[in-house]
Amino acid sequence: MEDTVEDPPTSAVLLDHCHFSQVIFNSVEKFYVPGGDVSCYYTVTQQFIPRRKDWIGIFRVGWKTAREYYTFMWVASPTDVKSRLTKQQEVQFKAYYLPKDDEYYQFCYVDQDGVVRGASTPFQFRPENEEDILVVTTQGEVEEIEQHNSKLCKENQELKDSCVSLQKQNSDMQAELQKKQEELETLKSINKKLEEQMKEQKDSWEAVLLQLKEQNQKISSENKKMEVRVDQLQAQLSMQEKEMEKLVQENQDKTEQLEHLKKENGQLFLSLTEQREYQKTLEQTVEELKQKEATAVKKQQELTDQNFDLSRKLIDNKIIYDVLQKEKENLAGANDFLKRENSRLMSYMGLDFDSLPYQVPTSDQEGAGQSPGLVYGNPYSGIQESSAPNLLSSQKCRTCPSDYADDIFDHTLEEQHIEMRYLNCPICNKSFSAKEKQIFEDHVFCHAL
């Protein structure tokens, strides 16, 4: 027989791991007549999906594994599984391959993995009228038959108990299977949702990753531009530092602020993400420095103006001092000259100037008239008055219309008079007229610049 040439797939799976409720056998007889074909009817439940290598075997009652089959037949190929789930199927066993003894057998559905998915109730192969045949046996055979019957009853009871246990286990397994199937359906729906979410998340991640790559490229280009800008700022900063050092060398505060700017510029290389904020801070600092510089320049201008005013005042004071000093020297020279003239006149009149009880009046007193120190008057006043026209004969100054007495005229007095008429620069000795005082002051101020 072609269907039995190839051995069916079997396994050493024990009864405890089999599922007898997934395939249900229908219309199973209690016994089948030997010598005739046997039809096996079965129905596949929704908990099991048949496959191409599934088969149905005839097993002797008491089997332990799927390898203990007596004969088998391949099941029909599942062309349309959904339409066959609730439809009754049929497999026909040929009489040639059926057992010849009267032992109890049962149909078992085995899948292509060798796992039993369903089992029928036990049946026998014997004639229908076997109960009406009169059998003559001996007492020993009777006892043996009774022992065999008791053994069969015992096995039958065990099989019934096993069947009850299997049915209970089958119901429990069906309930558990139903529960597992519901959980499986729930998990499938959840898995489907998760897959959809993962797909959406993956698409969103890819979009975000693409955006991040574009942003990274933009940031890289901006970083390169910022590096170039930083180099330019560094060059500008170095130039500004040199200019600031030249302008405000004595200002320690500005130097410290420039050092602070150098440190901030060094930190600019360490944190490129803080470049814009740092640049704003740097611009604010430079603005403050410019304001401070403007304040310093303004203060320096004020100090320069004050220094200019003080220099002018100093020059004016110096000029006044020199003029007063020269006037003092001129007056002292004139006083000495008058003293000498007075002494000469006294000696001319025969008087001793040192023996007089009073001093000759100074030039200021001479301008006031006769000295009050004479008690009886000047005995030679007539001589002086008579000789006054000769003694007080005048001479004119060469540079101005002033007149000098002939007796008191001297070259020294003339020189002192000329010096009073002119202003000499104390630095270059350049002479200016007394009327050109403003020009003289400007000239002296130019030496102070």
pLDDT in tens, the chain (449 residues): 444 456 777 765 555 556 778 899 999 999 899 889 999 999 998 888 899 899 999 999 999 888 999 999 999 876 655 555 568 899 999 999 999 898 999 999 999 988 999 999 999 998 865 454 455 557 777 788 888 888 888 888 888 888 888 888 888 888 888 888 888 888 988 988 898 888 888 888 888 989 899 988 889 888 888 889 898 988 988 888 888 788 877 777 777 877 888 887 777 777 777 777 888 888 888 999 999 989 888 888 888 888 888 888 888 888 888 888 888 888 988 888 898 888 888 888 776 555 555 444 444 444 444 444 444 555 555 444 444 444 444 555 655 655 555 554 555 656 666 666 677 888 888 888 877 888 888 888 888 77
pLDDT score for 391: 41
Q: Are strands 403-405 and 422-424 parallel, antiparallel or unpaired?
A: unpaired
Cross-strand pairs, 23? 44
Residue 75 contacts residue 52 (beta carbons within 8 Å): no
Q: Is the dihedral of CA 423, 426, 431, 435 positive or negative?
A: negative
The pLDDT score that the predictor gives to residue 132 is 47
**Residue 18 CB-density burial (10 A; 0-12 exposed, 13-18 middle, 19+ buried):** buried
> Torsions phi, psi of 403, nearest 5?
-110, 150
pLDDT of residue 13: 57
Residue 435 tokens read as 């009327």
Contacts of 170 (CB under 8 A, 6+ apart): 20, 21
Report the alpha-carbon distance of residue 306 to residue 438 in Å, rounded. 20
Q: pTM of this prediction? A: 0.32
pLDDT of residue 120: 93
Supply the Cα-derived Rg of the chain in whole angstroms: 74
DSSP 79: S
